[in-house]
Chains A and B, each alone.
Chain A
Amino acid sequence: MSFKTGLVGFLLFGVISLNAVAEVRLLEGWTRSPPPGVDRLAIYGRLVNDGDTPVVLSRLELAGAGQVMLHETVMDAGQMRMRHIDPIELSPSKALVMAPQGLHLMVMGLARSPQAGETLTIKATTRLDEVHTFLVRVQPITALGPVPN
């Protein structure tokens, strides 16, 4: 194989690979500054998969935090229960909506307390080892949505 053929093949492979990487995004990502004395927080927003095939997120990370997991608050016979959801599957046709009193990314073991106005970066790794980053805006502790109230 000549150098030229090899280069064309390499470039073609690169283009095909790029096309195969689904774009996963967090829209309107927000969280509240954790209350004093608390080392955890809940992240809300809409997770969307712009690709053509389902994506499974196998690992979520935030620098300076212990764990990041998808949880859901569910009401069961009047009881508020927390449910850990694993794996995190993102369908190309449906956004995963995370909102207070429902689905959320739960961050535990924060080394420091993020303050309102900061932006956090979540690193998400898919089962195919693709890496995506999600930006999360920190709102005041009394916020009820992505825009400060």
Chain B
Amino acid sequence: MYSDTQKTGIRKTLGILLGIIMVMLSLIFLNYVTRDVALSAEQAAKLGYIRFEQPRNVTVPRLVTAQDERVLPTHFQGQWDLLYFGFTACPDICPTTLAVLNQALSTVEIPPRVHLVSVDPEQDTPAQLARYLGGFNPDFLGVTGSHDQVTQLATQLNVAFGKVPGAEPGSYTVDHTGSIVVLDETGRYAGFIKAPHQPGQLQQIIVGL
């Protein structure tokens, strides 16, 4: 038979083994749960989200928010951010994208921030952006600046834009990239979501970021 000392040792060993098994089971469970939430690159691509293997650094140029405050170099750090490059006089694609984003984020527990970056900065003053975005969602943010400053940001994010003369003399529209840019929690360019956008599609992508 075992002595008391031996019995205590066996109990300790069994306790440690049980603890290790519990930790391992917890890790397996955690891995299982997170596997269901996080999208693989392939799943993301099927939904239209092109996620880079290596996020790219972004240098934030001098820009202003819709509250007319300087966009600091750390502005896009600390949370996920979605950037859409559009303009307030755009009648179809921009309000549609903002309405889709509004619906997609409505059931997300911790939603990323949404920014409309103006590609018509001469017309889209901070006050105009604030008025416009408030109509969609009070949490939506605006970014504007000079044409060169917006171009500096856009170029780093593979976004192109340019004024095009309209049908009537003196009128114009602005052609622009339709993708939604994704910045990760460290402010790096993580990927982009191709247009056209649908609420269900965006919701799946956002939950899986």
- Which of A78, A80, A144 has the most B CB atoms < 10 Å from its CB? A80
Task: Name the interface residues of B84-102: CB closer than 8 Å to any CB of A.
Answer: 88-89, 91-93, 95-96, 98-100, 102
CB-defined interface of A33-50 with B at 8 Å, one 1/0 digit per residue? 001111011100000000
Per the bound structure, the CA–CA distance linking A38 and B133 in Å amounts to 11
Contact across chains for B103 and A78 when beta carbons are under 8 A apart? no
A84 within 8 A of B: yes
Residue of B100, B136, B175 touching A81 (CB-CB under 8 A):
B175
A residues apposed to B, CB below 8 Å = 32, 35-38, 40-42, 67, 69, 71, 73, 75, 78-82, 84, 86, 100-101, 104, 106-108, 141-144, 149
Contact across chains for A104 and B91 when beta carbons are under 8 A apart? yes
Residue of B96, B131, B168, B173 touching A101 (CB-CB under 8 A):
B96
Per the bound structure, the CA–CA distance linking A42 and B195 in Å amounts to 19
Q: Which residues of the partner chain A approach B131 to less than 8 Å between Cβ atoms?
A: 35-37
Q: Which residues of the partner chain A approach B93 to less than 8 Å between Cβ atoms?
A: 73, 80, 100-101
Shortest distance in angstroms between B131's beta carbon and chain A's nearest beta carbon? 4
User: Interface majority SS on A: helix, strand, loop or mixed?
Assistant: strand
Contact across chains for B136 and A35 when beta carbons are under 8 A apart? yes
Contact across chains for B89 and A38 when beta carbons are under 8 A apart? yes
Q: Which residues of the partner chain B approach A36 to less than 8 Å between Cβ atoms?
A: 131-132, 134-135
Per the bound structure, the CA–CA distance linking A81 and B100 in Å amounts to 19
Per the bound structure, the CA–CA distance linking A69 and B196 in Å amounts to 23
B178 within 8 A of A: yes
Q: Which residues of the partner chain B approach A67 to less than 8 Å between Cβ atoms?
A: 168
